[in-house]
Amino acid sequence: MKVRVEYFAQFGQLSGCDNELVETDASTVSALYHQLRRRHGLPEPGPAIRAAVNDEFADWERPLCVGDVIAFLPPVSGG
């Protein structure tokens, strides 16, 4: 299944891109993160790291669908 993955801030730095098309067999957001974590050296998931699917915050256990856009969001630092 192909999904689009977006990386923000330091995650973009680590993965070397803002977004990429990923072919994955991961069935959940969490499983996808763990696959990409190994590939790009992303940090361990923690409470300050969040995911969004199709521009909405998403639970880590949310199932993936073909064509989903998944954003991985490092700890926010606005303000």
Q: Is 71 in the site for other proteins (CB under 8 A)?
A: yes
* Residues in 12-41 that interact with other proteins by CB under 8 A: 13
The terminus-to-terminus CA distance of the chain in angstroms comes to 38
* Residues 6 or more apart whose Cβ sits within 8 Å of residue 16: 40
Q: Rounded to the nearest whole angstrom, what is the least distance from the CB of residue 4 to other proteins in the complex?
A: 14
- The span of 23-31, 34-42, 51-59, 60-68 binding other proteins (CB under 8 A) equals 51-59
Strand order in the sheet with 56-58: 19-23, 2-7, 69-73, 50-53, 56-58
Judged by the rule CB under 8 A, the positions of this chain that interact with other proteins are: 6, 8-10, 13, 46, 48, 50, 52, 55-57, 71, 73-79
